[in-house]
A and B are shown apart, each in its own frame.
Chain A
């Protein structure tokens, strides 16, 4: 029962907010264009949040995703320019995209190795790499962005009326959702987060699985980075500052526990959309971005508080 409430809660709130906004602003909110816009804006955060969900379920955290986003974008765009000149086209864009994604993978792998092999806390390691990745992004072009004016496809492209970025988002949701629920790696992720020592004693190769999880997140950040780069047709060394907090908020609103062992992809997607819809709605209603911050902060606390309450209720019910 409690589990049901927990999963329903973010989804219910999302539905409620959508209903309210539809009623208040039927002409602007409830249009295909606006809804697709929300999805498109959610895709970058959502893709990263999926990776963060797996990390948080394993009782870890990754504070470096924002910096990783900037670094992947910068390296990708740099490669495009280095190969294709000041307005790179065609194959140079593809190579740059691939390279940017590979950088994300390398960053995530580095986090995973440092955490497991040096036995350091994820919080500390990624706090460090957050700074390192950001620093490299600034150093690369003296703090200036790389402009790639023709790199538009990922950000603006549309297939059958649906933005490419939304399609990528959807594919990643499906794959990650399947992996987390049905793969052995996904199962071990929950086990490690629930009780790392017990998982080890049950024969789980904890270190290897954690490295997979952080590397997987790096891969997703790399993909998100190239979408973000394409959307602004430039790679900004300042991209993604404080992004990790938004991402963690989405995952937590979605019902994951920072203590590990609990969380779902659907919950995280709902959490991501909840924040996006709220932002969008506030903008439509003319509420300033400053006030939006207050609203989102309160929602985070409210979500966790209600969740906590539901959990205490269940554990009381379970007492023999």
Chain B
């Protein structure tokens, strides 16, 4: 923990590091719009938030930053009534509230604008704005469309937003949809608007426009909680910033007093511990050569090499194109250009089946959606990618299959009731090990792990790291995609950094710092 890491900081008014706050009160008043105190929340064994206090002044833009998994989303979801905290209290305009459901938060003026915006695409802007709250027409069971359009236009005008209330949402550019979502919040008399990564899918001009909109909101005394990974945005837009790390508040201050480098330091400042098992492997010859890989889905001209026994990490923000690199290599997405060479052989891969038969494995980031057949037996899930290889190309020998599954289960110490148990009876960590077992059986030479430790507990994480080490020792080439810098620094030899679909860094882990990686990943340099 860094020196300033105190979990009970509550905002810019509590002096941080002993500084008085009068200097940065230029924007926004001194009234407190929101005060969350001592919020804790755990999901099963995972402590998502510990004793978090968070204060937002009325009429300010308050940025909430932190690495993936730091607890930002959990915190705002508690505020919006989606989750209920285990401990802690919430005051809005100095009145205490507890929300059991999102509509209760809405009723007192807390509106959340989700990344995917939550709009009914086939309805008009006005219909969306008044969804569930339609003005009644003259006849029973009818809706007064004219009033709806008129009131939406008035609302837009009072904030100087430029939008056609009668336009159908699916026809609008993303930026306008965002404005529609904001008007929807305003129509419900929102006084606190939460925006979760609002710029992730916007073009640059749209981003500028959104900033204007956010500044308009601030002018009218509305508080905006702004979650973003793009630090330069925050410097330009926010008044205050709160940094979360590992479910704790590590810093909360006026933006004017911070620069990007400092924010990055607060975000990653964490010591590497003995947590990561040591490994003693000298990377061997180059096994994998990825050249000029581009795909239709957002990645451009990505090139890198992997050596035998080398664990190479891939860092980047959400949406930077890391998963897309994996998908393009594995044949899930169509390649637009580029080549993949494994053991001096250029591969032609058009589907995961091709990739697997060429010795490539992909442990996908979402094991429930793209990894496991949850209702089926563990053994079936383990052998599915290698039935041909195991000599069961046409006909399956269940006894043999069961034995193979039981053996590999024992080897990886998977805790299950037996190979015949359904997969959904296993814990997350054991499900993950099951998927690793799948690729071991498939005799993969080049293994891509996409967020292999996501959503599993600490003990299971450590086992996954040991497994990765063991695979590297066996001479496999390993690409390890992760959003958690500490684990990248803990186990990799090299780190590739992605930003906006391009590879922007290829660094020796021993010669770089978390700050440098985060800087490359988060900050536009050109």
CB–CB B356/A194 < 8 A: no
Tell me the complex Cα distance, A200–B351, Å: 8
Report the minimal beta-carbon distance from A105 to chain B, rounded to whole angstroms.
21
The residues of A that contact B376 with a CB separation of less than 8 Å are 190-191, 194, 261
Interface residues of B in 362-390 (CB under 8 A from A): 362, 364, 369-376, 380, 384-385, 387-388
Q: Is A175 an interface residue (CB 8 A)?
A: no
Report the minimal beta-carbon distance from A107 to chain B, rounded to whole angstroms.
26
Tell me the complex Cα distance, A261–B374, Å: 9
Report the minimal beta-carbon distance from A258 to chain B, rounded to whole angstroms.
13
Best-buried of A191, A201, A318 by chain B (most CB within 10 Å): A201
Interface residues of B in 404-433 (CB under 8 A from A): 422, 424-425, 427
Binds A, one of B132-140, B336-344, B392-400: B392-400
Q: Is A90 an interface residue (CB 8 A)?
A: no
| Contact A183-B422, Cβ < 8 Å, known A198-B370, A198-B371, A201-B371 | no
Tell me the complex Cα distance, A279–B392, Å: 43
Tell me the complex Cα distance, A320–B442, Å: 30
| Contact A184-B372, Cβ < 8 Å, known A201-B364, A318-B425 | no
CB–CB B384/A320 < 8 A: no
Tell me the complex Cα distance, A194–B422, Å: 12
Q: Is A140 an interface residue (CB 8 A)?
A: no
| Contact A204-B353, Cβ < 8 Å, known A183-B394, A184-B387, A190-B376 | yes
Residue from A197, A201, A261 in contact with B362 in the complex, judged by beta carbons closer than 8 Å = A201
Q: Is A40 an interface residue (CB 8 A)?
A: no
The residues of A that contact B8 with a CB separation of less than 8 Å are none
The residues of B that contact A313 with a CB separation of less than 8 Å are none
- B-contact bits for A190-210, CB 8 A (1 contact / 0 none): 110011011111111100000
Residue from A183, A195, A202, A203 in contact with B374 in the complex, judged by beta carbons closer than 8 Å = A195
Q: Is B352 an interface residue (CB 8 A)?
A: yes
Q: From A197, which residue of chain B is reached at the shortest CB distance?
A: B370
| Contact A204-B384, Cβ < 8 Å, known A182-B396, A184-B393, A198-B369 | yes
Q: Is B357 an interface residue (CB 8 A)?
A: yes
The residues of B that contact A201 with a CB separation of less than 8 Å are 330, 332, 352, 362, 364, 370-371
Q: Is B445 an interface residue (CB 8 A)?
A: no
Best-buried of B384, B392, B422, B442 by chain A (most CB within 10 Å): B384
Interface residues of A in 162-196 (CB under 8 A from B): 182-184, 187-188, 190-191, 194-195
Q: Is B41 an interface residue (CB 8 A)?
A: no
Tell me the complex Cα distance, A191–B370, Å: 12
Residue from B370, B395, B422 in contact with A182 in the complex, judged by beta carbons closer than 8 Å = B395
| Contact A184-B392, Cβ < 8 Å, known A198-B371, A203-B385 | yes
| Contact A202-B352, Cβ < 8 Å, known A182-B398, A183-B394 | yes
Report the minimal beta-carbon distance from B384 to chain A, rounded to whole angstroms.
5
Tell me the complex Cα distance, A262–B375, Å: 8
CB–CB B395/A183 < 8 A: yes
Q: Is B300 an interface residue (CB 8 A)?
A: no
CB–CB B422/A318 < 8 A: yes
The residues of B that contact A187 with a CB separation of less than 8 Å are 380, 384, 387, 396
The residues of A that contact B352 with a CB separation of less than 8 Å are 200-203
With an 8 Å Cβ cutoff, the count of chain A residues facing the other chain is 23
Residue from A182, A261, A320 in contact with B375 in the complex, judged by beta carbons closer than 8 Å = A261
Residue from B353, B380, B393 in contact with A203 in the complex, judged by beta carbons closer than 8 Å = B353
The residues of B that contact A184 with a CB separation of less than 8 Å are 387-388, 392-396
Q: Is B438 an interface residue (CB 8 A)?
A: yes
The residues of A that contact B373 with a CB separation of less than 8 Å are 190-191, 194-195, 198-199, 261
Interface residues of A in 226-242 (CB under 8 A from B): none
Tell me the complex Cα distance, A202–B442, Å: 10
Q: From A179, which residue of chain B is reached at the shortest CB distance?
A: B395
Q: From A178, which residue of chain B is reached at the shortest CB distance?
A: B395
Q: From B386, which residue of chain A is reached at the shortest CB distance?
A: A203
CB–CB A195/B372 < 8 A: yes
Residue from B351, B380, B392 in contact with A191 in the complex, judged by beta carbons closer than 8 Å = B380
Tell me the complex Cα distance, A201–B393, Å: 18
Tell me the complex Cα distance, A197–B384, Å: 13
CB–CB B384/A199 < 8 A: yes
Tell me the complex Cα distance, A253–B370, Å: 30
| Contact A203-B357, Cβ < 8 Å, known A184-B395, A261-B375, A318-B422 | yes
Report the minimal beta-carbon distance from A202 to chain B, rounded to whole angstroms.
5
Q: From A205, which residue of chain B is reached at the shortest CB distance?
A: B353
Q: From A194, which residue of chain B is reached at the shortest CB distance?
A: B373
Q: From A185, which residue of chain B is reached at the shortest CB distance?
A: B394
The residues of B that contact A194 with a CB separation of less than 8 Å are 373-376
Q: From B373, which residue of chain A is reached at the shortest CB distance?
A: A194
Residues of A at the B interface (CB closer than 8 Å) are: 182-184, 187-188, 190-191, 194-195, 197-205, 261-262, 315, 318, 320
Chain A to chain B contacts (Cβ below 8 Å), 25 pairs? A182-B395, A182-B398, A184-B387, A184-B393, A184-B394, A184-B396, A187-B380, A190-B373, A190-B380, A191-B384, A195-B372, A197-B369, A198-B372, A199-B384, A200-B332, A201-B332, A201-B370, A203-B352, A203-B353, A203-B385, A205-B353, A261-B373, A261-B375, A318-B422, A320-B427
User: What would 11 more interface pairs be, CB under 8 Å, given A187-B384, A187-B396, A200-B352?
Assistant: A182-B395, A182-B396, A183-B395, A195-B374, A197-B370, A198-B373, A201-B332, A201-B364, A201-B370, A203-B353, A261-B373
Residues of B at the A interface (CB closer than 8 Å) are: 330, 332, 351-353, 355-357, 362, 364, 369-376, 380, 384-385, 387-388, 392-398, 422, 424-425, 427, 438, 442
